[in-house]
Chain A
Amino acid sequence: MAANFWTSTQRAHWQLTREKIADMRKGLDEEDTNRGLGIAYPLPDHKQLQLYFHHCVQRLARRLQLRQQPLATAETYLKRFYLKVSIRDTNPYLMLSTCVYLACKMEECPVHIRSVVNEARALFQEFIPQDTAKLAECEFHLISELNSYLIVHHPYRTLMEVQVQLKLSPDEIMAVWSFLNDSYITDLILLYPPHTIALTAIFLAVFVRPAVHTQANLNASSSTSMAMGAAPGGGIVPPASSATQGLSVSAASAANPQNMSSARHSQMSDWFAESGVDMESIIECTQEMISLYDTWETWTDKVCREGVARLIRGRQLL
């Protein structure tokens, strides 16, 4: 992305701590409870919701045939927005469509507002107002809540820079992409600089993935239910897919991983050791990712969908 991460508003204003994020969410929740909304419209916890919104955004992006980058930007906007505004005060479907619409403009691949509304209506039916004015108005609120800090730096760039140097195999690159895509379900982009996230994904792809080989089948089966099917892809960007899908692919193709991996591992550990990267952050990121997959294992979209529908109908947020 444009501009320099080190002087960016992302670094200055949108690198938070876990405590800060927890505080902000707690603040919003308490306010909801005080207004009696918390009890009237129960919603699953934010991890579940994030997974749900992630899938909604993905489905919308697929219909609009977007690249991964605007999608990632849209998810980041949504995360930032919901740290400042309570979900119960918004129509989440409209909000996430707005994020996608604005992110497309930001990433220089504008989509007409009409197509966004039409595609969103095809997905979320009555929850998206027919009138484009609603979405445009929402865009305005979004920019305002984001303090018009719109440029988001993503980890994909780091990956493209180091993948040659690290001699990552196409398989590994696929897996890294998948981990990165999944990282947008977590709060990582609000917590760590993009290069840390990229290195975490590489770390996961090289060291952790082989270890889960045995579980790959299990994971793959559980994830296919929510993986929304591969996009017709094309271009330089691999279609968004869940990491667990990536895992199953690699399990099939990595015929003799054992001999290969030990030399590879020592080479990679040397690289990580010498790179001077903050290993502590990488470990923390890894834990975040693993906890995501834990949640994912048992997650279904039913509760979220019903909760959100009740909210929108009940408060008439249309």
Chain B
Amino acid sequence: MSATAGSSASSSTTGANPGIPLTRRTLPFGNGHTPVPTSLADNGDHVQRKDDSDGSDVDDPDDLNARTKRKYTKGKILPALSPASNRKLGEGAYAVVNLGHRRATSTELAVPVAIKKMKVNTEFRDGLSMDAIREVKYLRELHHPNIIALLDVFSSKSQNLCLVLEFLSSDMEMIIKDSSLTLSMADVKSWMLMSLRGLWWCHKAFVLHRDIKPNNLLLASNGVLKLADFGLARSFADPYRPMTSNVITRWYRPPELFYGAKFYSSSVDIFSLGLVFCELMLRTPFLPGNTDLHQLELICQALGTPTEENWPGVTGLPGYCVPQADTPAGGGAIKERGKDFFMNTFIAAGEPGVELLMRMIRLDPRKRCSAREALDAPWFSQEPHPTIPANLPKRGGGKGIEKVGSDLKRKAGDLFNSNTEETNGRGKKVARKLDFGGGG
């Protein structure tokens, strides 16, 4: 059931097809007033007029679900080009994702979509999982060009909840790892700008994403970046209500969560995005810890040791500790890193870029900038200007779909996707590092 198997020659050719105009419109179903993003036109082979839009079946006009369901069908738009086995994009702990498309009508073209079918735990025994609930809950309310669009929700005949999501062909992780691509600072700026806009919108609505990482930043074929996977999201509108600190993939988790903070806010997402920013420049994860403790050591080494001086109140957090090396016996606390340190590591970003980065990954969450403040950073208005999305580097080849599938397979918060070669490689690298450290 590996999603990487059976790769298709047909899946996608990179040739962007600019010729097909999909005008802005409102979908007349599902009570949804979700506007379809202006250009969902993926690759040339997806957008084809489908003539057999069966107008013959007559459904009960009152049955909204049936009407909604009939809008979509499994499989690609041109079935001849895609064997049925290709439909599945991935399977995870709580969802199966299939490629589908919205049926063409007399006035509208067919549009590829991803259909995420929520698995109901063991024959209804436990109800729907929180992940599924959260995803529906927030995506139903958040509409923004930089947030994945939930086009519809319907229930299938086997009584499963199906989410119809925008189909997005790749993600940031693929771009970062594709060594054939060169990323310019203008490209990085453009991606950062789009992610910050999406994040700003979430925070404005008092929603924390809580799982920002490169493979949750999906890319449409026209280059637009969209935040996805709201399985861990929650609202932070009610102050004084404790939240779990066991969220966010380890490599992108901010120090306050390692210290077990129960009250935190949008600054956790900003920190994660700051580390994605580093990763975009380094082309490798900035702080790839093997364990939570190791991760904390890396944070201390890279950013400085959290102390009362640079972070008032930190010692009061339940899990506060300092790595062995940073205790007075082991060499003393590392001062919070200054600009020189970051200028050395991220020289390409230039001074304004480094300044923004530093404000995003401050140790003390209260000192981090908000998404709004980050968007106002001078870096974005300076030369080089952000690349327009359509001109951003794209990943070539036909592996796109399989990769998205394997990402969706992952459970929210999980780092590794154990049965794909790619991530195994990544894991090995980390392991090697460990050996190295142990041996030396």
A34 contacts partner chain B, Cβ-Cβ < 8 Å: no
Alpha-carbon gap, A13 to B206, bound state (A) = 21
- Which of B82-90, B136-144, B166-174, B402-410 interfaces with chain A? B136-144
**A3-B206 contact, Cβ under 8 Å, with A110-B130, A137-B159, A140-B155:** yes
**A136-B127 contact, Cβ under 8 Å, with A3-B205, A108-B235:** yes
| Complex interface bits, B98-140 against A, C-beta within 8 A gives 1, otherwise 0 | 0000000000000000000000110111111010010011101
**A135-B127 contact, Cβ under 8 Å, with A2-B235, A140-B120, A147-B153:** yes
In the A-B complex, list the 4 residue pairs whose CB atoms are closest, starting with the nearest. Answer: A2-B235, A136-B124, A133-B124, A3-B141
Judge whether B125 and A132 touch: CB under 8 Å.
Answer: yes
Question: Distance in Å from the Cβ of B282 to the closest Cβ of chain A?
Answer: 34
Judge whether A105 and B126 touch: CB under 8 Å.
Answer: no
Judge whether B141 and A2 touch: CB under 8 Å.
Answer: yes
A236 contacts partner chain B, Cβ-Cβ < 8 Å: yes
| Complex interface bits, A46-70 against B, C-beta within 8 A gives 1, otherwise 0 | 0000000000000000000000010
**A106-B133 contact, Cβ under 8 Å, with A2-B207, A133-B124, A140-B155:** yes
Judge whether B127 and A9 touch: CB under 8 Å.
Answer: no
**A3-B126 contact, Cβ under 8 Å, with A108-B234, A147-B31:** no
Among B161, B234, B240, the one with the most A-chain Cβ atoms within 10 Å of its Cβ is B161
Alpha-carbon gap, A7 to B201, bound state (A) = 12
Q: List 21 A-B contacts (CB under 8 A).
A: A1-B235, A2-B138, A2-B141, A7-B143, A7-B205, A12-B33, A102-B133, A106-B137, A136-B120, A136-B121, A137-B159, A140-B124, A140-B161, A143-B136, A144-B65, A149-B31, A150-B133, A150-B137, A150-B140, A151-B137, A151-B138
- What residue in chain A is nearest B205 (Cβ atoms)? A3
Alpha-carbon gap, A108 to B262, bound state (A) = 14
A165 contacts partner chain B, Cβ-Cβ < 8 Å: no
For chain B residues 150-201, which have a beta carbon within 8 Å of chain A? 153-155, 159, 161
A253 contacts partner chain B, Cβ-Cβ < 8 Å: no
Question: Distance in Å from the Cβ of A138 to the closest Cβ of chain B?
Answer: 9
Q: Which residues of A are found within 8 Å of B65, using beta-carbon distances?
A: 144
Q: Which residues of A are found within 8 Å of B138, using beta-carbon distances?
A: 2-3, 151
Among B32, B65, B238, the one with the most A-chain Cβ atoms within 10 Å of its Cβ is B238
Given A133-B124, A149-B31, 9 other A-B contacts at CB below 8 A?
A2-B138, A2-B234, A7-B141, A105-B127, A136-B128, A140-B120, A143-B128, A147-B64, A148-B136
Among B30, B33, B64, B241, the one with the most A-chain Cβ atoms within 10 Å of its Cβ is B241
Judge whether A157 and B125 touch: CB under 8 Å.
Answer: no
B237 contacts partner chain A, Cβ-Cβ < 8 Å: yes
Judge whether A136 and B125 touch: CB under 8 Å.
Answer: yes
**Interface residue from A135, A147, A151, A236 paired with B141 (Cβ < 8 Å):** A151
Question: Distance in Å from the Cβ of A228 to the closest Cβ of chain B?
Answer: 25
A187 contacts partner chain B, Cβ-Cβ < 8 Å: no
A4 contacts partner chain B, Cβ-Cβ < 8 Å: yes
A113 contacts partner chain B, Cβ-Cβ < 8 Å: yes
| Complex interface bits, A1-32 against B, C-beta within 8 A gives 1, otherwise 0 | 11110011100110000000000000000000
A139 contacts partner chain B, Cβ-Cβ < 8 Å: yes
| Complex interface bits, A30-42 against B, C-beta within 8 A gives 1, otherwise 0 | 0000000000000
Interface residues of B, dominant DSSP: loop
B429 contacts partner chain A, Cβ-Cβ < 8 Å: no
Question: Distance in Å from the Cβ of A241 to the closest Cβ of chain B?
Answer: 21
Interface residues of A, dominant DSSP: helix
Judge whether B205 and A2 touch: CB under 8 Å.
Answer: yes
For chain A residues 84-140, which have a beta carbon within 8 Å of chain B? 101-102, 105-106, 108, 110, 113, 132-137, 139-140
**A150-B234 contact, Cβ under 8 Å, with A101-B127, A113-B127, A140-B128:** no
Question: Distance in Å from the Cβ of A36 to the closest Cβ of chain B?
Answer: 20
Among A2, A7, A144, the one with the most B-chain Cβ atoms within 10 Å of its Cβ is A2
Question: Distance in Å from the Cβ of B86 to the closest Cβ of chain A?
Answer: 28
B204 contacts partner chain A, Cβ-Cβ < 8 Å: yes
Question: Distance in Å from the Cβ of A201 to the closest Cβ of chain B?
Answer: 19
Alpha-carbon gap, A102 to B31, bound state (A) = 21
Alpha-carbon gap, A150 to B161, bound state (A) = 14
Judge whether B126 and A9 touch: CB under 8 Å.
Answer: no
Judge whether A3 and B142 touch: CB under 8 Å.
Answer: yes
Judge whether B155 and A13 touch: CB under 8 Å.
Answer: no
Alpha-carbon gap, A132 to B124, bound state (A) = 8
Judge whether B136 and A4 touch: CB under 8 Å.
Answer: no
Alpha-carbon gap, A135 to B120, bound state (A) = 13
Q: Which residues of B are found within 8 Å of A135, using beta-carbon distances?
A: 127
Judge whether B235 and A139 touch: CB under 8 Å.
Answer: no
Question: Distance in Å from the Cβ of B75 to the closest Cβ of chain A?
Answer: 24
Alpha-carbon gap, A69 to B235, bound state (A) = 14
- What residue in chain B is nearest A109 (Cβ atoms)? B241
Judge whether A4 and B205 touch: CB under 8 Å.
Answer: yes
Q: Which residues of B are found within 8 Å of A102, using beta-carbon distances?
A: 133
Question: Distance in Å from the Cβ of B18 to the closest Cβ of chain A?
Answer: 31
Alpha-carbon gap, A101 to B138, bound state (A) = 18
Q: Which residues of A are found within 8 Å of B128, using beta-carbon distances?
A: 105, 136, 139-140, 143
Judge whether B126 and A148 touch: CB under 8 Å.
Answer: no
**Interface residue from A2, A105, A147 paired with B133 (Cβ < 8 Å):** A105
Judge whether B235 and A113 touch: CB under 8 Å.
Answer: no
Q: Which residues of A are found within 8 Å of B205, using beta-carbon distances?
A: 2-4, 7
Among A7, A106, A148, A157, the one with the most B-chain Cβ atoms within 10 Å of its Cβ is A148
